Structure 1
């Protein structure tokens, strides 16, 4: 770790307690002026004060102590661009005590989607703007000079001078609106709770809203740009029910009288948990009952539940420093599922989670030597932004789920409530949480959980027998055979493990040694897929499992788990890939979406290794053999008896069969698409239909999608269309897609996803890499300020499979920076090395298996 980065934290002798901030935005010139007074406590004699400031012009600074004649102006204001700080120097020594620091400043309303930025939209062809904020993790300093670290909690009094036609939304409710000079008004907001700077928010624009109340009387409003409030009803309903659920679950009432949720047309992530003023990307909050798919509806419910969970985990109690980010994100990700599963039990949220791309991503990243611990030491803002990944979110979820399993649900809830009440309005470290659970459960939680949070990776458990006694041995799992073959890693975990024995009994044990003897006969390890690990079952046990699959005696989580493990073992070189392909035959008639999704993911990963067209076509034949019977049975049309799983399954299997060249399905998809004017395509198969048409289309179809995109206003539909134009097979057309991605037609928030999806298309791999090299300066200018965009954009690098590609990629990035994406780059290098070794070791094995079966 760079030594300079270690010194990036502020000194601890100056402590803010209250901010009074006045902002005057100019919505025409996109600049703002501001004045703030920060109440501070100084606990040593000083002549300098350093705080955070980035892209802010500070005009004057003075410090004074009310009632004492000791006011003095800063004699010098100096900036450290690397540390993103401003230092105020004073001629006279400042003694210990309480002071007020007054600062006059100005800045720009940027277009970076960070700090204080502008968001553009259109109404009836007229261009409109919102000015909004995104401060997490380290961007409050772009809007006002501040002590921009989570532990520097304070209260905030904010006011805004705006034109009469604008509304302002902030964390609390307005206490007064005063008329000012011609056409202006001053809106004063009530004081916030004690909170971190990254949770402050203000949004200025022209809105409409709908509202409701919880049974406890909290007013909830959902704000949209004009003409969209009818799409806010579902999110409002979920928010009301979620807030009521958490009030009861945590046994701590939500502390504010209001909770606002705001749909922002331009937004980097899905949402941001600003206390009392949660901001969202439109696709993460708006639901049009006629046009929104079930997948997106589930996404909206999950995101709303996640952000409201943060009002306790993150806002009420906040991590001391970003090293413990997982305390925020892991718990919010866990609680979102607990809450959503309660509100929508028919969705089977936990099954969907286990088969989800997000969970797979956590496992994939953490199987690498270049992963990071859940508790990861970070310093610079670029390092901080990189840990907002699936290790923090979904591995965090998994280990919390294991903890609940280990101590029991009642003790888990009791410990959570104790932790929140003890540390209310304060900052914590991970150990504080473990101590709360130890108090509630009387179990050695810290010892057990530290093995999961302080070291990276996760274990693989191997089942063997000696003298008819079962031995369970553990070692670190690596998804790369290259790393595994040279690793000397001796990590051990304390593992809560549920297994099912041959009598059908489920038992919970704690494995804390390299090898553990078990006086029992195993039917299935990791029953219910409740532990974050991999398993190599003995041949005898695997035969029993295969029998249970055939007879449909294995639960959904166990079927997901078996498939996930078998494909991972093949990738890591623990078994031959033909074994995984062989097991996939047992799932020919799989009718559960989450299981089918896991199976599809494994087969597509193997397919993406294959460059030989004859072998690729045989792989497509295998995919059709497994999925076509279900596609034929379920059909294109919805049925009255459809379960939610059937709606999701239909889209998946039709997409797989159409993408694998099934002529009947392609013909029907094209027919449905061509007839879309006369008969609207069903919202739940739209993406699938578009995708099949694109994969089998040319310039004419691309132009059709482009014209549809240009005339479309609903963002969910725009995402479907950009997803489709990333799937063409023709290289020239894909180059056109890539140029379109960085054109003025596409919002900067959407371009990285179009580029990444085109890159993930096997046919677009080389074209996208060339495009990125040719346009890197443009990409860097847009997204090089840090944040999450660059890491998301370059993630598909991992799909490359050739040595010459790896050499070229390393050569390129040796001379080009990737701010906030360095760790993603290292992970991509490791994955490419792994792919190369996998192909070398197993391609003949794959070919032989496919030739034998097709």
Structure 2
């Protein structure tokens, strides 16, 4: 490993998702750093001082004032040292009033004022956890006005003025509104239409959670999506307001890396060694795409691709793990340029591994931020699934540089335009780069999660109404990403790859550096293809749910019927039936030939003749698994299809198993038939993706669908499923073994050792764990590490628990660190359970990992009850540990692992008593899932018992 080093600073940073919190105003406890200075206005003219809010007023969520005067600042305040650019001006005190406009939670900025250019100065103090800023904001005003409204939350605005037409207009009052997260600048005289420059100076504190500007180990970093730029800069914090940004960082410590969206154009040290770092101006960007990163980071060796310098950043001890990310970005950037027909627009590309990060990654223009586990790895020791996942995340974020950054949604109801396209494009591009990885099988796994979520009554359309940025945060889910990506893939299959690509290129040309809507995309695709795409597409993105397509034969013709599919057997459609325009690709075998036939299912039913001379041997109604729908075959058609399983593609076999399980959950297929299907599939299956699907299904049944009395019999049945393949594959891989065989071994041994708990397999896993942690580690196929560590954790004693904890704390490789951390939550020894549960609230579990760690505890039969008790009894500490809207939503979803009816009642009561702002949708979906899973468990337990005894 190379020695840690501090590199020359570079420009880059941004990340995440989060929902806005209440505005908190200045309090007397706010301390101003006297050692950090932000340059003042060039002409030295007077600024308006804002009287500070009382904390009590804002804590109650009201706009300050309403006829009352804010508390006067203490006398000592006037003698406090101010930065030079804030000093020498008179102050204006006065009372605050609510803005005359109707603000409130759903307030959106008026469209008659537009930002043109931000010239921002920011002085972050990592030691104090605070920052100071100043901005010169050029705005275009469409009509005269006496006030200007900006977004700002938890900022203390100390000075404000406005310049226009060579004169300065005084800001008489600075009026914040907590609920709308805005600040209104009330001017002493009317400002004419035209261009004006707003000068503002402010202070703030680092956020305690993972949004705004926050501390992540040795790094201060920003995460602004959806609406947290306002926690750092007073700004127009909505995606429609694109503007150019010129940023300067002040008082930067010697040796600290500095990264933002632009290139570093100036880096000068003062007499005290502290530096001023200036970045080049950006192309027009929405505020959520701005990034700042300052701290102890080290960069990879740069690569230059088509004139674009690329670097990957990590904390110094992890610099040796940056090579794969460099290789991936260097390979896919040209592929994306070629696909879009547009060059990369942001001059340089920095990829930053952040030690604590809310989302997986964030597409800040030219300065992409990542969780370390989504960026850093050693290809020599990383399992293939980790390499694929990192490549998919990197490519997803790079695709955003065009789809999302260069062309941006108008409002958050079109968030799916960004995320669905980047999801689909990532798999498409990685498949070109690494075809042997067969990443479309991974796409099918994600699509399966979206199908499961979208079968709930509490689901939402891909394009749903979003009233405010907090609601936008709730849209970061499998519907927006995976369902949206699946719909795009389905449309591409319908139009053809070239016509679809030509439509995307047209869309990019028309809306470059501007904003666009879904209808703009459909219009470009229709123009390029000549197809009426609007009707087809809007039905899928504007309607909630998806169809169950039933396939039967009648008088020699194929009959297709559709209705909305629900996982809940008791759920019914409300109102007029929802129907889709369904593009269906049929595949069938006639004699020795396999043919395809494309059809559109419009309305409830369609009868059609297959283009065959006689009766087909078998018919598949979702060829290539491209359709976003479930399929139910009549028994005769299903039998013929099962007999032909080896002739189907792996994605088709995986989808068939997934669809049959969905029908079991919905009460439309008896579990006995499904279990017989698994026996038939396992007998001859050689594809890892299908085997993974089988393991996931039997794991759910083992976890929730069997009684304790029948569990040993179920384990024996699962062993019989996987033992033949395990015997053939063994535990040790050859040096030259192909990837598919390695992944197949991992799937089979997961089923055998972790689900069936086969004693011999468990012992083999433990032997390999002993090799792994030996002073001279033995060789283990990286693809088996998850199985080996999990099996060892379940039987851990105190010595092994201590070893697992040491590894979780000391590992540099992020995937290995995560593996050992979650293993601590898998322990089953009664003496270790309290330690594993209490560990969740310590620094060993970082904030970003808390929901998944808690989810592992809740899914473990040994730790479930004490973990659930901890959530209830120490809710204040739990909330603090998951101090961001996205993490809280993930924590709510983790409660879905609780299996019993009493748990359902307890969760319902607990969430009712402890409301969580910004998690309304997650709560509704989790409770619906719990109700269904409890009912399914009660239905399956006797049926599984009868199967095992029959």
When normalised by structure 2's length, the TM-score is 0.85
Unaligned ranges ≥5, structure 1? 121-128
Other-structure match for 1:553: 647
Q: Is the 8 A contact 2:837 2:863 kept in 1?
A: no
Other-structure match for 2:135: 36
Other-structure match for 1:490: 577
Is 2:358 aligned against 1:262? no
Displacement of 1:488 after TM fit?
5.7
Instruction: Go from structure 1 to structure 2 and tell me whether the alpha carbon gap of 1:57 and 1:810 turns closer, same or farther (over 3 Å shift).
Output: same
Displacement of 1:762 after TM fit?
4.0
Other-structure match for 2:201: 104
Displacement of 1:6 after TM fit?
7.1
Instruction: Go from structure 1 to structure 2 and tell me whether the alpha carbon gap of 1:91 and 1:224 turns closer, same or farther (over 3 Å shift).
Output: same
Is 2:920 aligned against 1:825? no
Is 2:669 aligned against 1:612? no
Q: Is the 8 A contact 2:311 2:326 kept in 1?
A: yes
Other-structure match for 2:223: 134
Instruction: Go from structure 1 to structure 2 and tell me whether the alpha carbon gap of 1:477 and 1:762 turns closer, same or farther (over 3 Å shift).
Output: farther
Is 2:533 aligned against 1:445? yes
Other-structure match for 1:597: 692
Instruction: Go from structure 1 to structure 2 and tell me whether the alpha carbon gap of 1:488 and 1:635 turns closer, same or farther (over 3 Å shift).
Output: farther
Displacement of 1:836 after TM fit?
2.9
Computed over aligned residues only, the root mean square deviation of the Cα atoms, in angstroms, reads 1.8
CA distance in structure 2 between the partners assigned to 1:750 and 1:848 by the alignment: 40
Other-structure match for 1:627: 722
- For residues 761-776 of structure 1, the aligned pairs below 5 Å read 761-776=860-875
Is 2:766 aligned against 1:670? yes
Q: Give a deviation string over 1:798-824, Cα, whole Å, max 9, x none.
A: 233433222221111111022332211
Residue 613 of structure 1 aligns to a residue whose secondary structure is: coil
CA distance in structure 2 between the partners assigned to 1:163 and 1:215 by the alignment: 31
Is 2:249 aligned against 1:154? no
Other-structure match for 1:789: 887
Residue 614 of structure 1 aligns to a residue whose secondary structure is: coil
CA distance in structure 1 between the partners assigned to 2:865 and 2:921 by the alignment: 22
Unaligned ranges ≥5, structure 2? 1-101, 611-615
| 1:113 equivalent among 210, 218, 233 | 210
Other-structure match for 1:91: 188
Q: Is the 8 A contact 1:370 1:827 kept in 2?
A: yes
CA distance in structure 2 between the partners assigned to 1:804 and 1:711 by the alignment: 39
Residue 317 of structure 2 aligns to a residue whose secondary structure is: coil
CA distance in structure 2 between the partners assigned to 1:783 and 1:197 by the alignment: 25
- For residues 345-744 of structure 1, the aligned pairs below 5 Å read 345-354=435-444, 356=445, 358-484=446-572, 490-503=577-590, 504-520=594-610, 523-549=619-645, 552-589=646-683, 590-610=685-705, 612-659=707-754, 660-676=756-772, 677=774, 678-680=776-778, 682=780, 683-730=782-829, 733-744=832-843
Q: Is the 8 A contact 1:211 1:219 kept in 2?
A: no
Displacement of 1:437 after TM fit?
0.4
Other-structure match for 1:273: 363
CA distance in structure 2 between the partners assigned to 1:840 and 1:4 by the alignment: 49
| 1:288 equivalent among 373, 378, 391 | 378
Q: Give a deviation string over 1:138-168, Cα, whole Å, max 9, x none.
A: 1111111111000000000101111232221
| 1:82 equivalent among 171, 179, 197 | 179
Displacement of 1:510 after TM fit?
1.1
Instruction: Go from structure 1 to structure 2 and tell me whether the alpha carbon gap of 1:170 and 1:812 turns closer, same or farther (over 3 Å shift).
Output: same
CA distance in structure 2 between the partners assigned to 1:562 and 1:220 by the alignment: 42
CA distance in structure 2 between the partners assigned to 1:177 and 1:801 by the alignment: 58
Displacement of 1:133 after TM fit?
0.8
CA distance in structure 1 between the partners assigned to 2:908 and 2:140 by the alignment: 49
Is 2:906 aligned against 1:812? no
CA distance in structure 1 between the partners assigned to 2:273 and 2:304 by the alignment: 36
CA distance in structure 2 between the partners assigned to 1:841 and 1:57 by the alignment: 58
Q: Is the 8 A contact 2:706 2:940 kept in 1?
A: no
Q: Give a deviation string over 1:434-473, Cα, whole Å, max 9, x none.
A: 0000001111111001110001111000112333322100
Residue 44 of structure 1 aligns to a residue whose secondary structure is: coil
Q: Give a deviation string over 1:145-201, Cα, whole Å, max 9, x none.
A: 111000000000101111232221111112222333421221111110001001111
CA distance in structure 2 between the partners assigned to 1:111 and 1:6 by the alignment: 22
Other-structure match for 1:73: 170
Instruction: Go from structure 1 to structure 2 and tell me whether the alpha carbon gap of 1:792 and 1:610 turns closer, same or farther (over 3 Å shift).
Output: same
Q: Give a deviation string over 1:305-327, Cα, whole Å, max 9, x none.
A: 11100000000000111100010
CA distance in structure 2 between the partners assigned to 1:221 and 1:416 by the alignment: 28
Residue 647 of structure 2 aligns to a residue whose secondary structure is: coil
CA distance in structure 2 between the partners assigned to 1:95 and 1:735 by the alignment: 67
Other-structure match for 2:932: 834
Q: How many residues align?
A: 834
CA distance in structure 1 between the partners assigned to 2:861 and 2:919 by the alignment: 23
Residue 721 of structure 2 aligns to a residue whose secondary structure is: helix
Q: Give a deviation string over 1:246-280, Cα, whole Å, max 9, x none.
A: 11111111123211111111111121111011111
